[in-house]
Amino acid sequence: MLLDDSQATPEKLSDAGADAKLDDSSILRKIKTPTDVAALDERELPLLAGELRGRIIEVVSRNGGHLASPLGVVELTIALLRVFDPAKDKIIWDVGHQAYPYKLLTGRNGRFDSLRQLGGVSGFPKMSESRFDHFGVGHASTSVSAALGMAVARNHKGGPGANDHVLAVVGDGALTGGMIYEAMNHAGGLEKPLIVIFNDNEMSISKNVGALSYFLSRNLSARWVRRVKKEVGEFLKAIPGVGADMFEMARRSRKSVKSFFTPGILFEALGFDYIGPVQGHDFASLEQALRVAETCDRPVLVHVYTQKGKGYKPAESNPANFHGIGCFNPNTGDMEAPPPSGVCASGHNYTRVFADALCEFAAVDEKILAISAAMPDGTGLSRFAEKFPERFHDVGICEQHAVTFAAGLATQGFKPVVAVYSTFMQRAYDQVVHDVCLQNLPVVLALDRAGLVGEDGPTHHGVFDISCLRHVPNLNLLAPRDSVTLRECLAVALALNAPAALRYPRGVCPDRIAPLEPARSILEDYRQDGRARGQLLLAGDAPLAVVAVGNAVLPAHEALLALRGREGVKIALFDPVWLKPLPEQDLLALAEKYPKLLIVEEQALPGGFGSAVLEFLNDHALLGRCRVVRHGLPDRFIEHGKQAHLRAELELDAVGLKKKALELLAL
From the list 202, 399, 455, 488, the catalytic residue is 399
- According to DSSP, the residues that pair with 194 across neighbouring strands are 299
Return d(Cα 302, Cα 169) in angstroms, integer: 9
From the list 90, 308, 383, 481, the catalytic residue is 308
> Would residue 399 show up in a list of annotated catalytic residues for this protein?
yes
> Would residue 291 show up in a list of annotated catalytic residues for this protein?
no
From the list 116, 258, 310, 427, the catalytic residue is 427
Return d(Cα 422, Cα 436) in angstroms, integer: 17
Beta carbons of 96 and 138 less than 8 angstroms apart: yes
From residue 337, alpha-carbon distances to 63, 329, 596 in Å are 13, 11, 40
Return d(Cα 151, Cα 287) in angstroms, integer: 22
Return d(Cα 369, Cα 391) in angstroms, integer: 5
Beta carbons of 144 and 167 less than 8 angstroms apart: no
From residue 615, alpha-carbon distances to 222, 325, 471, 518 in Å are 69, 41, 12, 31
Beta carbons of 181 and 216 less than 8 angstroms apart: no
Beta carbons of 84 and 294 less than 8 angstroms apart: yes
Residue type, 311: G
> Would residue 533 show up in a list of annotated catalytic residues for this protein?
no
What DSSP element (H or E) covers 4? none
Q: Any residues with CB less than 8 A from the CB of 470 and at least 6 apart, and which?
A: 477, 579, 580, 607, 609, 612
Phi, psi of 451 (to 5 degrees): 105, -160
Return d(Cα 101, Cα 105) in angstroms, integer: 6
Strands (DSSP E) along 265-341, which ranges? 273-279, 299-305, 324-325
Q: Are strands 544-548 and 627-633 parallel, antiparallel or unpaired?
A: unpaired
Annotated active-site positions, please? 308, 399, 427
